[in-house]
Homo-oligomer: A and B are copies of this chain.
Amino acid sequence: MSYSVAVAGASGYAGGEILRILADHPDFEIRTVTAGSNAGTPLIDHQPHLRSLAHLTLQETDATTLAGHDVVFLALPHGASGAISSQLGDDVLVVDCGADHRLTSEADWNAFYAGDYAGAWTYGVPELPTTDGKQRDALAGATRIAAPGCNASSVSLAIAPGVAAGLIDDRDIVAVLAVGPSGAGKSLKTTYLASELLGNAVPYGVGGTHRHIPEILQNLRAAGAPNPAISFTPMLVPMARGILATVSAPLKPGVSVDEVRAAWNDAYAGERFVQVLPAGKFPRTSDVLGANTALIGVAVDAAANRVVSIVAVDNLVKGTAGAAIQCANIALGLPEHTGLSVNGVAP
C-alpha cells in the first residue's frame, strides 16, 4: 500500500531531508510540498539536490492544502503546527518535527519557550529505554507525533543506558556537543555565516539556558531517573551536519567496567539504528552522515570516576527527518526501518 504524503516547510533543511528520504521510500508517495514565503516557486530552486522531485512546486502552508493526505510531515517554525494540525482530521497521521508538542510539562515549556503551551503529542525516540520497555511502544497507532529533537535524541541515547540500569548519578550529568549549523535551518543571522564559522568553534546556549534541556530530562525521567540534572553546552563547528555529543556522569560506588558495557550493550541489543561500538572504539560524525544511525562509544574513566559516552548522529537524519519517518513507519505498522539507511556517506 502507498500512503499519500504532504511535507510542510519543504524549502528548509529539515523539510528537504524528509523529502530526500521519502523520495526512495517504497510506501510513501510525495504528493504535496508547501512553504511560507517561498510558496509558488519550484521546489528545485530551494533544494537543488533533489533532482527526482524537480517537478514539484511549493504550495501555501495551510490546512486546506495539507488536508486529504494520509501523512503530513510538519517542518515549520516553532508555534505554527498547532493551528494547522487542529484542522486536519484525526485519521491523518501528523508528524511534527518542531518542539511545540514534545514537552509533557507546561512548566517546562513556560520556563524555556515563549508563546502558549500547545500540549504534548505522542513522543518517541524509538530505541530509548523506559522503565517498562522502549519509547517506541507508545508510537504504534498514534496519529499525532512529536518527533524528537536532535540534541535531545543524541544526549539521551548516550546516557540513558546508565540511567536505566541504575549505574550512574543522574544528578551530575555533563554533556558537551559539537554540532553543525544546519540544525539552525536557513536562519539569516551573522553567527551562521560561512565567514564566521569556517575555522571556528562557537559555543552558544551556555549555562543551562538551552531549550533542549527539558526534553533531555524528560527522556531521562522516562528511563528511570527520579530527578535528573544536566550541564549542557553545545558549540557550532565547521561541518554542515552532525552532532558529536560527549556525555559523562559519575558512576555509583562499585560499578565495574563490565557492568557498564553490559548495560549499554543490553539497552540497544537488536537495534538496527542505535549501535554500541566495541570497547576502545568511538564514533565520528562522518560515520553517520546521511544515515539514520546513532553510534555510541562508551568508556570508564576510573581516575575521574565517570562513565564517558560519546554518540554521533546526523542531526538532519536520526536527529530530525529520519526520526520522523521512523516514527511514522511505526505508527502505520510498517517495518520500522523502511526507507531508512544504516550506512553513512563517507568520506
Contact = CB atoms under 8 A, between A and B. Distances in A.
Interface in A133-170: none
Contact of A206 (B13, B184, B308): B308
A275 B51 contact: yes
> How many identical subunits does the complex contain?
4
Given A237-B239, A303-B208, A308-B233, A286 B196 contact: yes
Interface residues of A, number: 91
Contacts of A52: 342-343
A230 B286 contact: no
Q: Looking at A178, A204, A297, which has the most chain B CB atoms within 10 Å of its CB?
A: A178
Interface stretch (A57-65, A243-251, A325-333): A243-251
A239 B200 contact: yes
A230 B304 contact: yes
Contacts of A24: 341, 343
- Please give me the 5 A-B residue pairs with the lowest Cβ-Cβ distance, nearest first: A207-B299, A49-B344, A208-B301, A176-B176, A201-B244
Interface of A: 13, 16, 20, 23-24, 47-53, 172-174, 176, 178, 180-182, 184, 186, 188-190, 192-204, 206-208, 213, 229-233, 235-242, 244, 246, 248, 250, 275, 282-291, 293, 295, 297, 299-306, 308, 310, 312, 341-347
